[in-house]
């Protein structure tokens, strides 16, 4: 994603179910924000092969993700950036679609133990819009669950922005997103077309 992902400081309760045998893992994709501008932004960026997304990983009835937290002036965010929410209902973003990632053989207790470990590795102070965001977290969590990496197109804007920044010209990425945002806010009031179907994991493998 390419715009800052933030949430209220108070976290939702962490809940989960129970199951025998392998359980499904789903990747939930959101347009950033709830005003409709995130959907328009992604529509404008899609011809360039990029987009600005929030995402979360659902396993055992809980959706896990990573974000910055909202703090008051002069305050510093502390603790972990990992949080859980009701699947497909992440506050502050607009749900778009779910991608089945396969099944994990990890028990619920093992998943919670893994998340506890990741909470130490993903403090909120390390959140970065381009280098360490919710997409990077979901990619790592999916791989640690044994279902493989997230589809490449989800990481496109973060990776493109990081590449530009490492080349010494971060203004290019921000200018691109800024222009798209300006079009969203100040351009003609046109409803964006429907999002094309997501690329399947099989499609990714064939590329």
Digitized pLDDT (tens) for each residue of the chain, 207 residues in all: 444 555 554 444 344 444 468 999 999 998 877 777 666 766 666 666 666 778 999 999 999 999 987 777 777 778 999 999 999 999 988 898 999 999 999 999 999 999 999 999 999 999 988 889 999 999 999 999 999 999 988 877 666 655 554 554 444 444 444 444 443 343 333 333 344 445 544 454 555
**Strand 62-66 versus strand 53-59 pairing type:** antiparallel
Q: Which residues pair with 95 in a beta bridge?
A: 30
Tell me the CA distances in angstroms from 135 to 8, 23, 109, one per residue in order: 19, 22, 24
Specify the pLDDT at position 69: 79
Length of the chain: 207
3-state class (DSSP) for residue 68: strand
Of the CA atoms within 13 Å of residue 28, those in its CB half-sphere come to 22
Tell me the CA distances in angstroms from 191 to 42, 87, 194, one per residue in order: 12, 27, 9
Q: Match 């053989």 to its residue by tokens.
A: 105
Specify the pLDDT at position 158: 60
Q: Match 């995130």 to its residue by tokens.
A: 38
**Whole-prediction pTM:** 0.68
Which residues, other chains included, contact 67 with Cβ-Cβ below 8 Å and sequence gap of 6+?
5, 6, 7, 54, 81, 83, 124, 127, 133, 134
Specify the pLDDT at position 31: 81
Specify the pLDDT at position 15: 41
Of the CA atoms within 13 Å of residue 196, those in its CB half-sphere come to 9
> E strands along the chain, which residues?
6-7, 23-32, 53-59, 62-66, 68-69, 82-85, 93-104
Closest to 173 measured CA to CA, from 130, 135, 137, 126: 130
């Amino acid at each position: 994603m390419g715009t800052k992902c933030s949430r209220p400081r108070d976290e939702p309760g962490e809940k989960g179910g129970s199951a025998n045998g392998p359980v499904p893992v789903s990747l939930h994709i959101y347009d950033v924000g709830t005003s409709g501008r995130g959907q328009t932004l992604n529509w404008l960026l899609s011809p360039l092969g990029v987009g600005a997304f929030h995402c979360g990983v659902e396993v055992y009835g809980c959706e896990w993700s990573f974000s910055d937290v909202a703090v008051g002036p002069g305050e510093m965010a502390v603790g972990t950036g990992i949080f859980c929410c009701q699947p497909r209902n992440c506050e502050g973003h607009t749900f778009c679609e779910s991608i089945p990632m396969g099944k994990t053989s990890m028990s619920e207790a093992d998943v919670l133990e893994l998340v506890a470990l990741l909470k130490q590795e993903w403090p909120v102070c390390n959140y970065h819009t381009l280098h360490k965001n919710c997409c990077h977290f979901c990619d790592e969590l999916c791989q640690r669950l044994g279902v493989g990496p997230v589809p490449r197109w989800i990481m496109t804007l973060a990776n493109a922005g990081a590449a530009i920044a490492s080349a010494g010209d971060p203004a290019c990425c921000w200018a691109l997103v800024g222009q798209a945002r300006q079009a969203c806010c100040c351009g003609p009031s046109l409803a964006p077309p429907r999002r094309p179907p997501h690329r399947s994991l099989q499609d990714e493998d064939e590329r």
